Amino acid sequence: MKVIVTENYDEMSKKAAEVIAEVIKADENAVLGLATGTTPIGLYKELIDKCAKKEISFKNIKTVNLDEYVGLPKGHVQSYDYFMKDNLFNHVDIDLANTNLPNGIAADLDAECARYTALLNKMRQSIQLLGIGSNGHIGFNEPKTPFDSTTHIVNLTESTIKDNSRLFDDISEVPTKAITMGIANIMNAKKILVVANGENKAKAVYNMVKGPVTEDCPASVLQKHEDVIVIVDKKAAALL
Ligand code: F6R
């Protein structure tokens, strides 16, 4: 695990965007595993900027997202589908047909989980971007999720619902279920990039990097992956 500590959020975003840009430059057909949340917004802006300057192109890039809420109608402003278009896809030269998210409104959610895992096995992420939850979750894999899990439906914990409620008008509107890549699907990526900022992530970052490898902290499994880069600002690195 390579850990890079930056002065602030902007530097974290720039460095993380460089890592992804290098993957794109090395392979114009790369498969990017992407994340939503507030942490990657800055690095997506940097990628948009690099694309505008023609330093990189998404023309042949394929993407697979980590997760999606269950039950939000298509086009809902809080859906991860909307988020990805709003924060990245609509601003770069990507073919939307090459972008993939789990479908949280599939009629048969079990079949959708199987479909998504089959897709991930076929595509295999060149790089998987991750944020980390304050309880150590990755994707929506909450503490105690088995390390061998594949795409599955989760009941979100109270702490995650609370974390996410800042993006909704009222906590009662936050979906209580999501569909997420499993931990095995994440670990199957060739390279993993984790970004985190702010003091509320410090404990989770410590447990991910220095804690025991345990299902109590899903992100700790990353210690077992051979190519992980962690880029965190100094507040998130405070306990390291
Ligand atoms: C997002 C995701 C989540 C977030 C995590 C951190 O697709 O899977 O695991 O990465 O909750 O979220 P932020 O960045 O909002 O602190």
Q: 95-130, pLDDT tens digit by residue?
A: 999 999 999 999 999 999 999 999 999 999 999 999
| Amino acid at the residue 216 | D
Domains and CATH numbers, the chain: 2-233 (3.40.50.1360)
> Rounded to 5 degrees, what angle do the CA atoms 188, 64, 220 make?
40
Q: Is the pLDDT of residue 57 over 80?
A: yes
- Choose, from 65, 68, 137, 163, the residue flagged as catalytic: 137
What pTM does this model have? Answer: 0.96
Contact 136 CB / ligand 1 (< 6 Å): no
Report how far residue 176's alpha carbon sits from residue 54's, in angstroms, rounded to the nearest whole number. 41
Helices (H), the chain: 9-26, 41-52, 80-87, 109-123, 158-164, 183-187, 202-209
What is the distance in A from the centroid of ligand 1 to the CA of 91? 21
| Reported confidence tier of residue 167, pLDDT bands at 50, 70, 90 | confident
Is 42 near ligand 1, meaning CB less than 6 Å away?
Answer: no
**Which residues make beta-bridge pairs with 155?**
177
Rounded Cα distance, 178 and 99, in Å: 19
Q: How confident is the model at residue 173 (pLDDT cuts 50, 70, 90)?
A: confident
The yes-or-no answer on residue 135 being catalytic is: yes
Per-residue pLDDT at 43 exceeds 90: yes
195: left (phi over 0), alpha (psi -120 to 50) or beta: beta
